[in-house]
Amino acid sequence: VNAIDLSGDDLGLPTAPHIREAAQRALDEGATHYTTRPGLDPLREAVAAKLRRENGIEVDPKLEVLITCGAQEAIFVALHVLLQPGDEALIPQPALRSHTEIVRLAGGVARPVPTDPAGGFGIDPAEVARRAGPRARVVLLHSPSPAGAVADESALRGLAELAVTRGLVVVSVETLERFVHDGAAHTSIASLPGMAERTVTINGFSAAYGMRGWRVGYMAGPRPLMAPMIQLKQALSICSPAVSQYAALAAITGPDAPVETAQRTASERRARALAALTAANVRAVEPDGAYHVMLDCRGRSNAGDELARATEQATGVRLTAGSKLGATSWLRLSLTQPPELIEEAATRLGPALAANGGAHG
Amino acid sequence: MADGTSVAESQQKRLDDEGTKQRYDLLERAETMSGVIALGRGDPDLPTPAHIVEAAKEAIEQGVDEPSDPAGLPELRAAIAGKLARENGVPVDGEAGVVVTTGGQEGLFLLMQAIVRPGDEILVPDPRYTSYDVAIQMAGGVMVSVPTVEADGFDLDPAEVERRITPRTKVLLLVTPGNPTAGTITPPNVRGLAEVARRHDLLVISDEIYEKLLYDGAEHLSIGSLPGMADRTVTLNGFSKAYCMTGWRIGYLAGPPAIMGRVARLKALCSSCAPVVSQRAAIAALTGPQDAVEEYRRIYEGRRRVMVEALDDMGFTYGDPRGAFYVFVNTSSIGMDSIDFSYKLLEDASVLAFPGTGFGDQWVDYMRISYLADEPELAEAMARIKGCLA
Cα(A219)–Cα(B88) distance, integer angstroms? 40
CB A258 within 8 A of CB A208: yes
Could you report the per-residue pLDDT of B210-219, keeping only the tens digit for each? Answer: 999 999 999 9
Using one digit for the tens of pLDDT, what is the confidence trace for A253-291?
999 999 999 999 999 999 999 999 999 999 999 999 999
Tell me the C-alpha distance between B254 and B236, whole Å: 7
Q: Which residues are CB-neighbours of A265 under 8 A, at least 6 positions away? A: A11, A13
Contact A215 B273 (CB under 8 A): yes
List strand residue ranges (DSSP E) for chain B, in order. 37-38, 98-101, 121-126, 142-147, 169-175, 203-207, 233-238, 251-254, 317-318, 326-330, 351-352, 354-355, 366-370
Nearest to B138 among A36, A73, A80 (CB): A80
**C-alpha separations of B256 from B9, B75, B170, B232 in Å:** 38, 19, 16, 7
User: How far is A279 from chain B, CA to nearest CA, in Å?
Assistant: 33
Q: Using a CB-CB distance cutoff of 8 angstroms, which residues of chain B are in contact with residue A14? A: 63, 65
Number of CB pairs, chain A paired with chain B, less than 8 A apart? 194
Q: Give the pLDDT confidence of A112-129 residue by residue, as tens digits.
A: 999 999 999 999 999 999
The confidence score (pLDDT) of residue B2 equals: 53
Range with the poorest average pLDDT among A158-172, B20-34, B289-303: B20-34
Say whether residue A236 is in contact with chain B using an 8 A CB cutoff: yes
Q: ipTM of this predicted complex?
A: 0.95
User: Are residues A241 and B20, on separate chains, in Cβ contact within 8 Å?
Assistant: no
Q: What pLDDT score was predicted for residue A361?
A: 37
Who contacts B71 (Cβ-Cβ below 8 Å, separation ≥6)? B77, B98, B99, B100, B260, B264, B267, B273
- CA-nearest of B33, B42, B56 to B248 is B56
A87: contact with B, CB 8 A cutoff = yes
Please write down the long-range contacts of B306-309, taking CB distance under 8 Å and 24 or more positions apart: B306/B371, B306/B375, B306/B378, B306/B379, B306/B382, B307/B369, B307/B371, B307/B378, B307/B382
Q: Give how far A164 is from chain B: nearest CA, Å.
A: 10
Residue A357 has pLDDT above 70, yes or no: no
Q: In chain B, what percentage of residues exceed pLDDT 90?
A: 89
Helical ranges in A180-241 per DSSP H: 206-209, 223-237
The whole-number average pLDDT for the span A232-247 is 96
* Portion of chain A with pLDDT greater than 90, in percent: 96
Of A33, A68, A105, which is closest to B43 when you measure between CB atoms? A33
Per residue in B278-321, pLDDT tens?
999 999 999 999 999 999 999 999 999 999 999 999 999 999 99
Average pLDDT of the residues of chain A? 96
DSSP state, residue A325: G
Please report the pLDDT score of residue B13 as a whole number: 61
The answer to whether B5 contacts A76, with C-beta atoms less than 8 Å apart, is no
**CB distance B138 to B114 below 8 Å:** no
CA atoms within 13 A on the CB side of A271: 7
Instruction: Give the burial string for A318-355 (b: 16+ CB within 10 Å, else e).
Output: bbbbbbbbbbbbbbbbbbbbebebbbbbbbbbbebbee
Closest chain B C-alpha to A132 CA, distance in angstroms: 13
CA distance A206 to B29: 34
Inter-chain touch A36–B31, beta carbons under 8 Å: yes
Per-residue model confidence (pLDDT) at position A339: 97
Contact A243 B275 (CB under 8 A): yes
In this complex, the residue of A33, A82, A215 whose CB is nearest that of residue B272 is A215
B18 band by pLDDT with thresholds 50, 70 and 90? confident
Given a cut of 70, whether residue B380 has pLDDT beyond it is yes
* Whole-number Å distance between alpha carbons of B38 and B331: 19
Answer yes or no: is pLDDT of B206 > 80: yes
The residue of chain B with its CA nearest to that of A11 is B66
Q: CA-to-CA distance for B218 and B215, rounded, in angstroms?
A: 6
Q: What is the pLDDT of residue B31?
A: 87
How large is the average pLDDT for residues A185-195? 97
Do A231 and B16 lie within an 8 Å CB cutoff? yes
Interchain CB distance below 8 Å, A214 and B277: yes
Candidates A10, A168, A228; nearest CB to B15: A228
d(CA B122, CA B140): 11
- Put simply, whether A82 touches B (Cβ < 8 Å) is yes
Instruction: Evaluate if residue B10 carries a pLDDT over 80.
Output: no
| Residue partners of A18: CB distance under 8 A and separation at least 6 | A250, A254, A255
Minimal C-alpha gap between A110 and chain B (Å)? 15
Q: Is the pLDDT of residue B201 over 60?
A: yes
Confidence at residue A360, expressed as pLDDT on a 0 to 100 scale? 42
Chain A neighbors of B266, CB-CB under 8 A: 105
Whether B56 and A215 lie within 8 Å, measured CB to CB: no
DSSP for A263-306, written as a single string: HHHHHHHHHHHHHHHHHTT--EE--SBTTEEEEE-TT-S--HHH
Q: Do A33 and B8 touch (CB under 8 A)?
A: no
Minimal-distance CA residue of chain B relative to A76: B270
d(CA B68, CA B277): 10
Give the pLDDT score at B70. 98
Note the pLDDT of residue A356.
Answer: 53
Amino acid at B162: E
The alpha carbon of residue B218 is apart from the nearest alpha carbon of chain A, in Å, by 28
Nearest CA in chain B to A133: B1
pLDDT digits (tens, 9 = 90+) for B262-279: 999 999 999 999 999 999
What integer pLDDT is reported at residue A358 of this predicted model?
Answer: 44
Which tens digits make up the pLDDT trace of B35-71? Answer: 999 999 888 999 999 999 999 999 999 999 999 999 9
- The reported pTM is 0.96
> Residue B22: what pLDDT?
82
**Rounded to an integer, what distance in angstroms lies between the CA atom of residue A137 and that of residue B11?**
14
The Cα of A196 is separated from the nearest Cα of chain B by a number of Å equal to 12
* Burial grade of A3 (CB within 10 A; 0-12, 13-18, 19 or more): exposed
Backbone angles phi and psi of A146, in degrees to 5: -70, 5
pLDDT at residue B345 in the model: 95
Nearest to B15 among A27, A232, A238 (CB): A232
Shortest alpha-carbon distance between residue A97 and chain B (Å): 10
The per-residue pLDDT of chain B, averaged, comes to 95
Nearest residue, CB atoms, B5 vs list A105, A169, A212: A169
